[in-house]
Amino acid sequence: MAALTATLARGWRRSTGRSPLQVVISPGLQLHLSRTAMPATQQDFENAMNQVKLLKEDPGNEVKLKLYALYKQATEGPCHVPKPAIFDMINKAKWEAWNALGSLPKDTARQNYVDLVSSLGSPSESSGHVKPAADRSQAGYETLLVTSEDGITKITLNRPTKKNAISTQMYQEIMLALEAAGKDDSAITIVTGNGDYYSSGNDLNNFADVHPSEAEEKSKSAAILLREFVGHFIDFPKPLIAVVNGPAVGITVTLLGLFDLVYASDKATFHTPFSHLGQCPEGCSSYIFPKIMGSVKATEMLVFGKKLTAREACAQGLVNEVFPDSTFQKEVWARLKAYSKLPPNAMRISKQVIRNREKEKLHAVNLEECNILQERWQSEECRNAIMNFLSKRTKL
């Protein structure tokens, strides 16, 4: 993501007081402030912040970064925090946007924030009406399709040519999508895959081309990202349902223990080849899977990499129900639409009652797993296993 730039065009003509103060935040967006205009008050600033929360359509990542940067500059002044690690893409982009504002005064940043929000229009403006939910989708994602309709927010993993492998960018976008879904007015949230696969797990290119001198830093950053990612599933406040349309591998299997319902096509399979890649379980599976299926079956899957069919996964308690692939979508979505009509607050509260006793434990397990993985990723055994896998795949 290109760094955002900010410059001030100076040169007041004091005699007339008419020359504009122009703040160029990006090549495509200019804000104009006249000298005679009253500066934005704190109340104007707070009103603008409230207006952002009421926007009916996502303004896009570029605008959101600008709003974030101006907010930080207006409230804290110039950027004063260290630059995030390379894998921390979202915070890195935020840091670059804020840092690009340089020494822009707080009051100017506050005025620019207010003007930028005003340029977006009020929640009830634009064409004079609000688009129906069926026509709205959450924009700004490159690896996901996110829609909200009839009380259901649907997050679709959308890298079908890569078997929906989870890239670093997809990790970040899934977290953003979950944050938005947790706050929107839908009753339930669905995660599924586009194409033949639910997901082939981690994109191993995430681990490629890492120089030994960078291994420690990148492993640490990756572990922080993974811990935050899994934490979003642990803390998700609404019913979260996996619609497993095809094979699932690695992290997308282990996370299923954090979902509230899991429906699968009979074409789905479930595979956790951690030992084959010199790694170990994640997604709290080291704790949840033995509880679900017993320690022997969990060990067979997590340590020895046994691939389960959908029927086996259902028999062992990882999946709620399996449907014939020919009727999978029809049958599952009929149920989901019925669930979405249930009182949403009652469902939230019920999930909270069921899950709250385990949250502290799950976060502790997540931290432990990520710390162990951080060590694994730096090991020669893990590096060799991943490179051997990538080499074999290249030859296919």
Q: Where are the domains of the chain?
A: 7-120, 133-395
Share of the chain above pLDDT 70, in %: 80
- Which of 16-30, 106-120, 180-194 shows the lowest per-residue confidence on average (mean pLDDT)? 16-30
- Label residue 332 exposed, middle or buried (CB < 10 Å: 0-12, 13-18, 19+): buried
**Distance from C-alpha of 192 to C-alpha of 155, rounded to nearest angstrom:** 6
Whether 39 shows a pLDDT value over 60: the answer reads: yes
Confidence of residue 37 (pLDDT cuts 50, 70, 90): very low
Question: Quick one: fold of 7-120?
Answer: Acyl-CoA Binding Protein (1.20.80)
Whether 314 shows a pLDDT value over 50: the answer reads: yes
Whether 64 shows a pLDDT value over 90: the answer reads: no
**Distance from C-alpha of 368 to C-alpha of 29, rounded to nearest angstrom:** 45
**In this predicted model, which residue has the larger pLDDT, 219 or 246?**
246
H-run or E-run covering 241: strand 240-244
Determine the pLDDT at residue 56: 67
Whether 310 shows a pLDDT value over 90: the answer reads: yes
Q: Which CATH superfamily is domain 133-395 in?
A: 2-enoyl-CoA Hydratase; Chain A, domain 1 (3.90.226.10)
- Label residue 54 exposed, middle or buried (CB < 10 Å: 0-12, 13-18, 19+): exposed
Residue type, 222: A
- What value does the mean pLDDT take over residues 41-67? 81
Whether 272 shows a pLDDT value over 50: the answer reads: yes
Mean of per-residue pLDDT scores for the chain: 83
- Helices 344-377, 380-395: crossing angle, 10 deg rounding: 100
Residue 211, helix vs strand vs coil: coil
Answer yes or no: are the C-beta atoms of 201 and 249 closer than 8 Å: yes
Determine the pLDDT at residue 129: 33
**Distance from C-alpha of 336 to C-alpha of 52, rounded to nearest angstrom:** 31
- Which of 176-180, 207-211, 215-219, 259-263 shows the lowest per-residue confidence on average (mean pLDDT)? 207-211
Determine the pLDDT at residue 139: 56
24 has which bridge partners?
7, 30
- What value does the mean pLDDT take over residues 336-357? 96
Whether 329 shows a pLDDT value over 60: the answer reads: yes
**Distance from C-alpha of 178 to C-alpha of 180, rounded to nearest angstrom:** 5
**Distance from C-alpha of 93 to C-alpha of 72, rounded to nearest angstrom:** 14
- Label residue 363 exposed, middle or buried (CB < 10 Å: 0-12, 13-18, 19+): middle
Answer yes or no: are the C-beta atoms of 44 and 114 closer than 8 Å: yes
Determine the pLDDT at residue 194: 96
